[in-house]
Amino acid sequence: MNELIEKAKILHQLSKDEIVSVLKDNSLNDELFKAADEIRKEFKGDEVHLRALIEFSNICRRNCFYCGVRAANKNIDRYRLTPDEIINLADNALKTGYRTIVLQSAEDMYFTAEILAGIIKEIKKNDTAVTLSIGERSYEEYKILKDAGADRFLLRIETTDKDLYKKLHPDMSFENRIKCLKNLKELGYETGTGCLVGLPEQTVESLADDILFFKELDADMIGLGPLIPHKDTPLKDAASDGFWLSLKVMALTRLLMPDINIPATTAMETLRQDGRILALQSGANVVMPNVTDEFHKNKYEIYPGKKSVDYTKLEEKLKQINRTISKDKGFR
């Protein structure tokens, strides 16, 4: 075996230079994916955790350069689900068998911490975990949501290259994003972060920094995937060839953080039909099927061609690769 992959497998530790050299050497890919699959099996077993994703608003105050729901995009129908609609979608998902509800939205300030807390409390009357993915808020707001019963929070750092972060996120601050992640950790959330792979000007060196950042933060979950250019954004002409590189970043993350949760992301399946399965065989142990109703799902177009998958089909596909759906909440 390649000595760096072997070292990562045993020590779960690599230097930046070592990560860079694995990322650059595509002749190692098969070995890398296999090693990540073995570590996933050893630390997390063959159960796959399903998280039901509800995209409850696409109304956004931000202008992230890659994202289709950015405020400046006028070619989009904006929507906001009502608390009752959100609670109903969650109830249906729980009846189907999901044990985690993920509430995701654009940065829609209509949803105050108090309104969200009411929704969380209602959903938490059931035996379920609740994950939030609603962007940046103050410590106090995160605390209200935690006290209401939220268990987990996803907030990708997107990139640890500060200059690139600044270019892609006008009016946002890299320091504040880090502070949000630290606050979430401090408040006791299972905290997820992650990055986009294949951004213009992004280097493998900065991807290595991303991986080391995940480790330093001691993130509980890492979600990452390739950039998929959206026609109504400043990155419309960017390349969309980040599939293999994101699989490599994901596999390396598994080797260095053996016990965390890692989703096979929708962006991976969007670029390749077998993308989700390949990810599950290269370190991932989580899938987040979209349970938003068809009408609104299509309007939450952060990138085009978002592929969805339902519970029954997934069960079938997982069986084919000798994996089962977990019946528990799947904490780290």
**Contacting residues toward ligand SAH, per CB under 6 A:** 66-67, 104, 106-107, 133, 135, 155-156, 158, 196, 225, 227-228, 230, 267, 302-303
C-beta closer to ligand SAH: residue 246 or 282: 246
Least Å distance, CB 227 to ligand SAH, is 5
Taking the C-alpha atoms of 171, 175, 178 and 183 in order, what is their torsion angle to the nearest 10 degrees? -100
Least Å distance, CB 270 to ligand SAH, is 8
d(CA 287, CA 231): 27
Gyration radius (Cα) of the chain, Å: 19
Work out the burial of residue 93: count CB atoms within 10 Å of its CB; fewer than 13 is exposed, 13-18 middle, 19 or more buried.
buried
Going by their DSSP bridges, the two strands 221-222 and 324-325 should be labelled as unpaired
C-beta closer to ligand SAH: residue 4 or 81: 81
Least Å distance, CB 177 to ligand SAH, is 9
Least Å distance, CB 131 to ligand SAH, is 12
**155-180 in b/e burial notation, b at 16+ Cβ within 10 A?**
bbbbbbbeebbeebbeebebeebeeb
Least Å distance, CB 1 to ligand SAH, is 32
C-beta closer to ligand SAH: residue 9 or 80: 80
C-beta closer to ligand SAH: residue 55 or 326: 55
C-beta closer to ligand SAH: residue 30 or 139: 139
For 290, the 3-state DSSP assignment is strand
d(CA 265, CA 167): 25
